[in-house]
């Protein structure tokens, strides 16, 4: 019978039409490219700092109370110490501190890129969106807590220079994490409504 329409099962995802949400798909595609570039740049930056600090005896790296510098030694900054002058255990502790701070950023960017790619494909209320947003929120919470954990490691080893354990960015990260949890619940509710609509006979 030509008038019979097959209904989707509740666990079956409807494939978006090519012309669904054209503006959203276009902007999501541009944002996904931008986030991909930022993700690559962040990974290169993290790797470069770790290589300079741990394999090249801290070349071009400088620490001061509350700050770190790359390149030539900063002028007019009190308490600047070459990273290579620190004892090896302290350098390892700062390497761990830096890794704890950067890894959550990379994880958040990775999930954000995946989310934007799904939106660019036209999947507005996909089942995995809420999970990705929650993982991003957890990543931001880890980013906010990283300076505290890192400073515990540095102070345990000793000979630390930059002993700042709290950053303003940590507060903003927690705020964005809370917003992402709200968005995750919103998307999950939207997915439930969509499933009910698609399963209605």
CA torsion sign for 50, 56, 57, 59 is: negative
SS3 55: coil
User: What percent of the chain shows pLDDT beyond 70?
Assistant: 85
Give the integer Cα–Cα distance in Å for 60 and 73: 8
Give the integer Cα–Cα distance in Å for 12 and 149: 43
Residue from 170, 128, 134 nearest 149 by CA: 170
Domain assignment of residue 13, yes or no: no
Q: How confident is the model at residue 35 (pLDDT cuts 50, 70, 90)?
A: very high
- For residue 80, the enclosing domain spans 22-199
The answer to whether residue 163 scores a pLDDT higher than 70 is: yes
Domain assignment of residue 15, yes or no: no
Domain assignment of residue 174, yes or no: yes
Domain assignment of residue 118, yes or no: yes
Least confidently predicted of 128-132, 141-145, 158-162: 158-162
**SS3 breakdown of the chain: % helix, strand, coil, rounded to 5?**
65, 5, 30
- The pTM assigned to this predicted structure is 0.80
Domain assignment of residue 111, yes or no: yes
Encode pLDDT of 44-83 as tens digits. 999 999 998 888 878 889 888 878 888 888 888 888 888 8
Domain assignment of residue 60, yes or no: yes
Residues 105 and 153 sit within 8 Å (Cβ to Cβ) = no
| Count: domains in the chain | 1
């Amino acid at each position: 019978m030509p008038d019979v329409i097959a209904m989707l099962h509740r666990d079956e995802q409807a494939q978006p039409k090519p012309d669904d949400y054209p503006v959203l798909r276009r902007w999501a595609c541009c944002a996904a490219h931008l986030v991909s570039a930022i993700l690559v740049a962040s990974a290169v930056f993290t790797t470069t700092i770790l290589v300079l600090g741990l394999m090249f005896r801290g070349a071009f790296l400088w620490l001061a109370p509350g700050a770190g510098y790359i390149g030539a030694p900063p002028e007019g900054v009190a308490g600047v110490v070459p990273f290579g002058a620190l004892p090896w255990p302290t350098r390892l502790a700062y390497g761990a501190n830096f890794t704890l701070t950067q890894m959550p950023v990379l994880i958040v960017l990775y999930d954000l890129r995946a989310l934007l790619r799904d939106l660019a494909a036209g999947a507005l209320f996909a089942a995995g969106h809420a999970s990705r947003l929650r993982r991003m929120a957890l990543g931001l919470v880890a980013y906010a807590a990283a300076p505290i954990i890192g400073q515990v490691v540095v102070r345990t080893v000793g000979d630390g220079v930059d002993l700042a354990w709290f950053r303003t960015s940590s507060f903003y990260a927690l705020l964005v994490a809370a917003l992402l949890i709200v968005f995750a619940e919103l998307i999950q509710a939207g997915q439930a409504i969509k499933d009910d609509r698609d399963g209605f006979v």
